[in-house]
Structure 1
Amino acid sequence: MAALPADASSRALIRRLLRDYLARHRRGILLAVLCTLALAGLTALYPIVIQQGFDRFSNADPDLIWLLPVVIILVTCAKALAQFGQAVAVQSVVLRVIEALQSDLFRALTRADLASVVRDAPARHATRFTVDAAAIREALTKSINGAADILTVVGLVGSMVWLDWQMSLIAAAMYPIAIVPILRLGKRIRRASGGMQERMGETAAQLTESFAAARVVRTYRLEAQEEARAGRAFARLRESLFAIARTRASLDPTLEALGGFAVAAVLGFVGWRVASGQGTIGEFTGFVAALLIAARPARALGSLNAALQEGLAGLSRVFAVIDVPRQVRDAPDAVPLPPGHGRVEFADVGFRYDGTPDAALEGLSFAAEPGQTVALVGPSGAGKSTALALVPRLYDATAGAVRIDGADVRTVTLASLRDAIAYVGQDAVMFDDTAFANIACGRPGATAAEVEAAARAAAAHDFIAALPEGYRTPLGTGGGRLSGGQKQRVALARALLRDPRVLLLDEATSALDAENEALVQAALARLRQGRTTLVIAHRLATVREADRIVVMQDGRAVEQGTHAALMAGDGLYARLVRTQAFGGEVAAAA
């Protein structure tokens, strides 16, 4: 779509919006159209009511003059009712369309490849749901209201022609002249809108980063540095917003000036005609009323293009995310993961992140048998976390194959593969929900007894039970009610509840104290029976218990074996142990 010319791209965006979103709300649109027709017709009736009032009632029985206020009140009330119905119907349709767009956008992001999601900061994604959605909502509202304005102007033009067709020609001559500045300013606003929304995303991302690093900022006295960074971001955002505001500000004065020329020309012509006895006061008053009433919808139509361009820019960004093709997806002939006990094999696996020249993994080969615990160790950047990410297909290997129970993970369905795996990372992820919900999401539909059993196995039951509402206590954003170690145990309970075939632990016990780590290790020992566990650990106690240790360096497995065998080999692993790379207890344990 980006390769299309601007007008072709706009038409494609509008067609897609009409086909995929607006077409679902035919009843709401029909109600809005009916109210719009009533509103336009009643507005166009005003000048005729005024003309008839002046010309008829002034020459009739004075007792009939009271009818004019009554007619005006009736027309006004009917117009107000139509205006209310139109506004409610339009907003009902627009907000439902925005809700559907936001749902589709969120669905696209939650199901997108991990690589495409982590490419942008979370705050940048969030702006698409707020800033872009607001621009699209305004454009939709003004576009639908624009139909009412068009009908209103058409009706008023009809009234003008009925009153005096010669004066109508003079007024109509000014409208084509206004098209040129409207189109030019609209293009400028669309270009400026792209820059503004980009600055919005940058600012939101920087603010999120600064607030997340609050402890580091205060500890290192970086307040002034962060304030300067934020100041620069705010300045760039202000410049982008001002560019749009300045362009918008020039639109209404332009239309106002053109409208003034039209009114002046009409008044001059009408004054000459009335003075020469060729028209009535009623025709003059009604025509001028129609011209002045038409000024508001005419200006609204002039600003419609600006709002439409901003909305199209936002719509383009939303659809660009929705349309990103997924690389990690089910193969056309994908089958469910075959039965088994979770044997994991890395066969000459290679992997390279997009945009990076060096391979993260290269020729990685090892096997983990059911019931075994295999520890991946090595210096930072060796590729341990990357290797773990290939098992549930968060990324796909670019060479070799990762197999579970003999099946290449790329040939089985993602649902069956991920249902067989549980993962606990370095940073325990907590949802803004109850303790029960945070554990139960490991296996939707689990009973309260099963959730409690998993919590007990992860040494989490006691502190959860001590919360104000026990398992029904909301944990807050990011699990704010819990300590780091408590969050890790809730995350581990979630994995235990899943009862997986393969368990992936990325330094999952790093935040536990010695007492709780011993309890969790005991629970993990029971869980590992008949299952495969791949663990990344920096604590020697965890590594020593592994059935096999795979020592990684530069994306390769340079050593494999038990703790005793690797110490006897006096290679990289032995050097890591001697340099206390596994924590403070290493020297004594070695």
Structure 2
Amino acid sequence: MAVLPADPTTRALIRRLVRCYLARHRRGILLAVLCTAALAGLTALYPIVIQQGFDRFTAKDADLAWQLPLVIVVVTLAKALAQYGQAVAVQAVVLRVIEALQGDLFRALTRADLATVVRDAPARHATKFTVDAAAIREALTKSINGAADILTVLGLVASMVWLDWQMSLIAACLYPIAVVPILRLGKRIRRASGGMQERMGETAAQLTESFAAARVVRAYRLEAQEEARATATFARLRESLLGIARTRASLDPMLEALGGVAVAAVLGFVGWRVSTGQGTVGEFTGFVAALLIASRPVRALGSLNAALQEGLAGLSRVFAVVDAPRRIADAPGAPPLPAGRGRVEFDGVGFHYEGTPDKALAGLSFVAEPGQTVALVGPSGAGKSTALALVPRLYDATAGALRLDGADVRAVTLASLRDAIAYVGQDAVIFDDTAFANIACGRPGATREQVEAAARAAAAHDFLAGLPQGYDTILGPGGGRLSGGQKQRVSLARALLRDPRVLLLDEATSALDAENEALVQAALARLRQGRTTLVIAHRLATVREADRIVVMQDGRAVEQGTHAGLMAQDGLYARLVRTQAFDSTEPVRA
């Protein structure tokens, strides 16, 4: 029989699971308990029915012979009904608990700091919702079913004691011997489970990476290399799974052997007693039946600890994510962002990524006045994307201050800050939802008229209205129904609907053809009107249109000014233009 380890961490995990998740489903648990009690009681009746049948079927009671099959049929039908009710009730509770855990896990990852989320590949996060959830589900199911097995064993023990207490002692002395190895095996399984989950996450991450890079793999003839990597990963996963399988596989044979020894000992003792006239055939048959019936729930209880340890390992990983502290959070008593027109000020801003000694930004200072378009330019690694990420507090500056309309962004509520900002990147993010939902998420609660107005301003209305179900058409994973230019215009419509004070652009036209670029540029011009815009510029045309150009190098603003003024300075910006660092077919001119 399984015994819960005394590990305080284990007890804390179980208490939290019961208090925060299982306690919500008292009715379902009560139904499962009632069905479980009925199932255990009816199972315990079998040996007594058998004993009574053998002992009563004498010549003078031959007229009662027809009653035994009828009693067995009634007991069996009642047991089947209780078994069905118990299985359904248990799964209803377990699946609701898993659903709640998955919801809390997803909520935690969705609201976690960006640095926490990007630390692992998306596929590694996904395994927590599948592999870990499956382990927790199995552990919960077996644990609740374990209650039925315990009641069944207790009922059968009572039947055996009622039939013959001396034979019961012989059987009872053997099974406790299995407790020590069961607990030791459980600890080994828990340790091995952690390694197995890592291998599962590693495998999922590598497969996702390999399939996402399908074009590069074929273009560079990397098929053999990817196959070798996959083979090594599959081998490590196989070793992890085989290690757990070996440990778990040793449980049932051990319990089977103990059960065989118990049955042999009982048979020997009972045979001696019957031969000396100290017992009846009915008692012998009923007792052996009870012993054999008890073997299944006892084996199930023996394997419960293994499943429980795997489930606890998965539960520990889930709670570790749920409990991870958030660094990007509202300061105590933080007020909302004050009213303003979108003045953005970088005041000696410094930043470095966790675990990286080199600074991404160092003393970055510039101001974007309300309504201005400020272009951030510079060589790769200059810190342009990092600077943009600090405005909506995807990361927090480690030095200096970043202010929006005079308020330090770290001192106001995240909700009010992010409601004032819209972001459009090179790769349009389209959700597997309707066109309406993809635009409306820019402003929850927006009406259809507002969504269509934003789509018209972004030059997206015509092609969206032409879809099979119009704005109610599901756009597919990644917006598979749309072209690149159409996706970008949908993302621009989303930003227009948001009506932000500050617009962050990571050159939204750099990956488009000339025709689509013209349409998107026109939409962007409308989007920038009256708003402060920070744009990472990859095209010379965008840079020239900017009110201010901030030239960045090594995380600092080394030059600032207009295109003409910077060309006249003949510094880094002028060199970038002359070396065609910007994508442009226009002639270079000061």
Fold equivalence (TM over 0.5)? yes
Partner of 1:107 in structure 2? 107
- Does residue 137 of the first structure (1) align with residue 118 of the second (2)? no
Q: TM-score when scaled to structure 1?
A: 0.98
- Does residue 33 of the first structure (1) align with residue 33 of the second (2)? yes
Any conservation in 2 of the 1:488–1:511 contact (CA below 8 Å)?
A: no
Partner of 2:273 in structure 1? 273
Partner of 1:365 in structure 2? 365
Summarize the Cα distance change of 1:131–1:37 in structure 2 as closer, same or farther, 3 Å threshold. Answer: same
Partner of 2:169 in structure 1? 169
Q: Kindly provide the amino acid, as one letter, of the partner of residue 550 in structure 2.
A: V
Any conservation in 2 of the 1:578–1:587 contact (CA below 8 Å)?
A: no
Secondary structure of the corresponding residue to residue 530 of structure 2:
coil
Query: Deviation of residue 586 (structure 1)?
Result: 4.8
Partner of 1:216 in structure 2? 216
Query: Deviation of residue 241 (structure 1)?
Result: 0.7
Query: Deviation of residue 511 (structure 1)?
Result: 2.4
Counterparts of 2:331 and 2:283, CA distance in 1: 74
Secondary structure of the corresponding residue to residue 367 of structure 1:
strand
Q: Kindly provide the amino acid, as one letter, of the partner of residue 171 in structure 1.
A: A
- Does residue 98 of the first structure (1) align with residue 98 of the second (2)? yes
Matches within 5 A, 1:76-475: 76-475=76-475
Secondary structure of the corresponding residue to residue 91 of structure 2:
helix
- Does residue 486 of the first structure (1) align with residue 481 of the second (2)? no
Query: Deviation of residue 512 (structure 1)?
Result: 2.9
Structure 1: where are the runs of 5+ without partners?
A: none
Structure 1 vs Structure 2 CA RMSD:
1.3
Q: Which moved more, 1:450-459 or 1:65-74?
A: 450-459
Any conservation in 1 of the 2:492–2:523 contact (CA below 8 Å)?
A: no
Q: Deviations over 1:270-327 (max 9, x none)?
A: 0000000000000000000000000000000000000000000000000000000000
Q: Kindly provide the amino acid, as one letter, of the partner of residue 123 in structure 1.
A: A
Query: Deviation of residue 63 (structure 1)?
Result: 1.2
Any conservation in 1 of the 2:488–2:520 contact (CA below 8 Å)?
A: no
Any conservation in 1 of the 2:577–2:588 contact (CA below 8 Å)?
A: no
Any conservation in 2 of the 1:22–1:97 contact (CA below 8 Å)?
A: yes
Summarize the Cα distance change of 1:27–1:228 in structure 2 as closer, same or farther, 3 Å threshold. Answer: same
Any conservation in 1 of the 2:186–2:305 contact (CA below 8 Å)?
A: yes
Q: TM-score when scaled to structure 2?
A: 0.98
Q: Which moved more, 1:59-68 or 1:181-190?
A: 59-68
Query: Deviation of residue 6 (structure 1)?
Result: 7.9
Counterparts of 1:537 and 1:60, CA distance in 2: 104
State how many pairs are aligned.
586
Counterparts of 1:60 and 1:575, CA distance in 2: 116
Counterparts of 1:300 and 1:586, CA distance in 2: 77
Q: Which moved more, 1:260-269 or 1:578-587?
A: 578-587
Counterparts of 1:577 and 1:6, CA distance in 2: 69
Query: Deviation of residue 191 (structure 1)?
Result: 1.1
Summarize the Cα distance change of 1:195–1:554 in structure 2 as closer, same or farther, 3 Å threshold. Answer: same
Counterparts of 1:563 and 1:334, CA distance in 2: 40
Any conservation in 2 of the 1:488–1:512 contact (CA below 8 Å)?
A: no
Secondary structure of the corresponding residue to residue 173 of structure 1:
helix
Counterparts of 2:321 and 2:277, CA distance in 1: 67
Q: Kindly provide the amino acid, as one letter, of the partner of residue 284 in structure 1.
A: F
Summarize the Cα distance change of 1:368–1:301 in structure 2 as closer, same or farther, 3 Å threshold. Answer: same
Query: Deviation of residue 588 (structure 1)?
Result: 4.5
Q: Which moved more, 1:158-167 or 1:517-526?
A: 517-526
Structure 2: where are the runs of 5+ without partners?
A: none
Counterparts of 1:519 and 1:66, CA distance in 2: 89
Any conservation in 1 of the 2:439–2:494 contact (CA below 8 Å)?
A: yes
Any conservation in 1 of the 2:55–2:282 contact (CA below 8 Å)?
A: yes
Secondary structure of the corresponding residue to residue 362 of structure 1:
strand
Secondary structure of the corresponding residue to residue 7 of structure 2:
helix
Q: Kindly provide the amino acid, as one letter, of the partner of residue 318 in structure 1.
A: V
Q: Deviations over 1:377-408 (max 9, x none)?
A: 00111000100000000001111111110000
Counterparts of 2:189 and 2:524, CA distance in 1: 59
* Paired-residue identity, %: 87
Q: Deviations over 1:154-189 (max 9, x none)?
A: 110000000000000000001110111211111111
Q: Kindly provide the amino acid, as one letter, of the partner of residue 266 in structure 1.
A: V
Q: Kindly provide the amino acid, as one letter, of the partner of residue 292 in structure 1.
A: L
Query: Deviation of residue 516 (structure 1)?
Result: 3.5
Partner of 1:580 in structure 2? 580
Counterparts of 1:537 and 1:69, CA distance in 2: 87
- Does residue 50 of the first structure (1) align with residue 38 of the second (2)? no
Query: Deviation of residue 463 (structure 1)?
Result: 2.7
Partner of 1:534 in structure 2? 534
Q: Deviations over 1:6-35 (max 9, x none)?
A: 811111100100110001011111111111
Counterparts of 1:368 and 1:357, CA distance in 2: 29
Summarize the Cα distance change of 1:60–1:314 in structure 2 as closer, same or farther, 3 Å threshold. Answer: farther
Any conservation in 2 of the 1:580–1:586 contact (CA below 8 Å)?
A: no
Counterparts of 2:555 and 2:176, CA distance in 1: 67
Counterparts of 2:283 and 2:444, CA distance in 1: 74
